[in-house]
Amino acid sequence: MKTQSTAPIAPIQDLGNGTWYVHMNILEKETEQNPMLQTANRIVFEADTVMVSSLTVDVVAESIFRERYPLLSEISLLKDFREKQMDETTQEGINYNECQAFRSQSVALAKEVLNAMVN
């Protein structure tokens, strides 16, 4: 999910109930003035956010991955890929390979976020 705040966003936010928000891809943006709403320019922070029940690489990576590829979506991609005789040049093969590449990216992103928390 996307998160937006007028205050800076920390990579990890303890929700106090044994769960955490993990914020990634944090961006600082300046909004434009809107005369109709009588608002001035201001700074906002945006991030991609997942909720996790544990601050381990495996749990965070799986949450990041499942945000983009729910289980049934991943199974469907695998099924389509196998039905095309695992031809990586078909659109189904490309879609499945993108899914698997994002799994690796999710692990790297989880490590990056958790390392930022320690440092």
Question: What's the pLDDT tens digit per position in 68-113?
Answer: 999 999 999 888 888 776 666 778 888 888 999 999 999 999 999 8
Rounded to two decimals, the pTM is 0.78
Q: Which amino acid is at 46?
A: E
Report which secondary-structure segment, H or E, holds 91: helix 91-118
Domain map (residue ranges) of the chain = 2-118
Phi, psi of 75 (to 5 degrees): -60, -40
pLDDT of 36: 66
Question: What's the pLDDT tens digit per position in 4-61?
Answer: 998 999 999 999 999 999 998 899 998 776 666 666 678 899 999 999 999 999 999 9
